[in-house]
Amino acid sequence: MSERPYVIDRMISAKAIAARIESLCGEIQDEFAGTDKLVVVGLLRGSFVFIADLVRELDLPIEVDFLEASSYGDGMVSSREVRILKDLRGAIEGRDVLVVEDIVDTGYTMQHVIRLLKGRKPSKLRTIALLDKPSKREVEVKADWTGFEIPDEFVVGYGIDYAQRNRNLPYIGKVRFT
């Protein structure tokens, strides 16, 4: 794939992300108060930075696991076909589970993952997404918690990539092609 030239315009600062995570963690702690262990499931790869910051803010007993699902590959448009590339290592039956997603746009990945994990009979299953693009939604799904609602822009940074680049940016930026 040949990459078109682009620039990145800042949309959401690192400081705003940190403040929002702190706020969300208070709500998550209330929801899972009394849990013996919360299984935090990060959807790879885009959520890895978000999940790291999230679990450091949570004052709960935590176990971290990962699931890799893909509907994009290196493209900018969802294929609408969700593939599981890496499954959980541990069982979640009877456990409290929080699924961490980087961005929900069409909703296909979130819908597929929720259906898959509910079939494994967790005690409680909740979802959180750093970013939500409701204008792109093609299936009815909504995260229990959302960091930021954004317009229909292609974004990178804070773990989110374009063709495996820009994941290391500490902020969320909008890709503008030149």
Q: Is residue 7 part of a domain?
A: no
Residues annotated as catalytic (active site), given as ranges:
105
Q: Is residue 178 part of a domain?
A: no
Residue type, 139: V
Q: What is the pLDDT of residue 163?
A: 86
What's the CATH number where 40 sits? Answer: 3.40.50.2020
For 144, half-sphere exposure in the C-beta direction (CA atoms, 13 angstrom radius) is 16
In the chain, the N- to C-terminal Cα span, in Å, equals 17
Q: What is the pLDDT of residue 1?
A: 46
Q: Is residue 131 part of a domain?
A: yes
Q: Give pLDDT tens digits along the chain (178 positions).
A: 457 899 999 999 999 999 999 999 999 999 999 999 999 999 999 999 999 999 999 999 999 999 998 775 555 555 578 889 999 999 999 999 999 999 999 999 999 999 999 999 999 999 999 999 999 999 999 999 999 999 999 999 999 999 889 999 999 999 999 9
For residue 124, the enclosing domain spans 14-152
Look at the chain and report how many structural domains it folds into.
1
Q: Is residue 9 part of a domain?
A: no
Q: Is residue 164 part of a domain?
A: no
Q: Give the pTM.
A: 0.92
Q: Is residue 177 part of a domain?
A: no
Q: Strand, coil or helix: what is 99?
A: strand
Q: What is the pLDDT of residue 3?
A: 72
Q: Is residue 37 part of a domain?
A: yes
Q: What is the pLDDT of residue 83?
A: 85
Q: Where are the beta strands (DSSP E) in the chain?
A: 6-12, 38-44, 62-70, 83-86, 96-104, 124-132, 145-149, 155-156, 172-177
Q: Is residue 2 part of a domain?
A: no
